[in-house]
Amino acid sequence: MRKAYLLRSIARLLDDGTDVVEAVYMWKRHRLMFPFGIVSFVGMVVVAEWAGWDEWATRIVIGLAAVAVAVAASTDYRVLAQTSDGLFLLQASRIRQIATRLLEMLPPDATIRPVGGTVLAADWEVAESVYTVPRSSEQAISRIAGRG
């Protein structure tokens, strides 16, 4: 179901007659995400104390909420789509796995290769940027990488 929404959102942004062959939802975190998250946590804990929340549990929860906002703000969500016209990189929604805007058409010789990962996600180089791809989409990006 989620894949169908993603494919429809891509087709809506492309020219008529362009068929979507495969698509992958992926993301890239800013290199300063961790310092930004730490500063957000500490800052909000201090603000919570200043605002009069005396319980540490409440301050920590407020700090963790700030970290969640900081991480979301420092993450770029993208969709890589293989179509009948070529490869496209699209901006994706932060909340739902849908494409929201066409960013660029990638050249036919664009690099798409695995560069690492974890148990839950794989890292792939796509046109000189490294993106994280969920393991559930790894077969799809492998098919795109082997496009010939």
Which structural domains are found in the chain, ordered by start?
A: 2-30+79-145 (2.30.29), 33-73 (no CATH)
- Give the model's confidence band at 133: pLDDT under 50 very low, under 70 low, under 90 confident, else very high: very high
**pLDDT per residue as tens digits for the range 16-58:** 888 999 999 999 988 888 899 999 999 999 999 999 888 999 9
For the entire predicted model, the pTM comes to 0.79
Question: Distance (Å, rounded) from C-alpha 61 to C-alpha 128?
Answer: 37
**pLDDT per residue as tens digits for the range 67-93:** 999 988 889 999 999 999 889 999 998
Question: Residues near 5 by Cβ (< 8 Å), separated by ≥ 6?
Answer: 96, 97, 98
Straight-line distance from the first to the last Cα atom of the chain, in angstroms, rounded to the nearest whole number: 28
Residue 148 has pLDDT above 80, yes or no: no
Task: Tell me which DSSP letter residue 135 carries.
Answer: G
What are the two backbone dihedrals, phi and then psi, of residue 39, each rounded to the nearest 5 degrees? -60, -40
Task: Give the pLDDT of residue 16.
Answer: 85
- Asked if 99 and 6 count as a contact pair (C-beta separation under 8 A), the reply is yes
Question: Distance (Å, rounded) from C-alpha 132 to C-alpha 103?
Answer: 18
Task: Give the pLDDT of residue 78.
Answer: 94
Distance of CA 113 to the CA centre of its chain: 17
Task: Give the pLDDT of residue 59.
Answer: 92
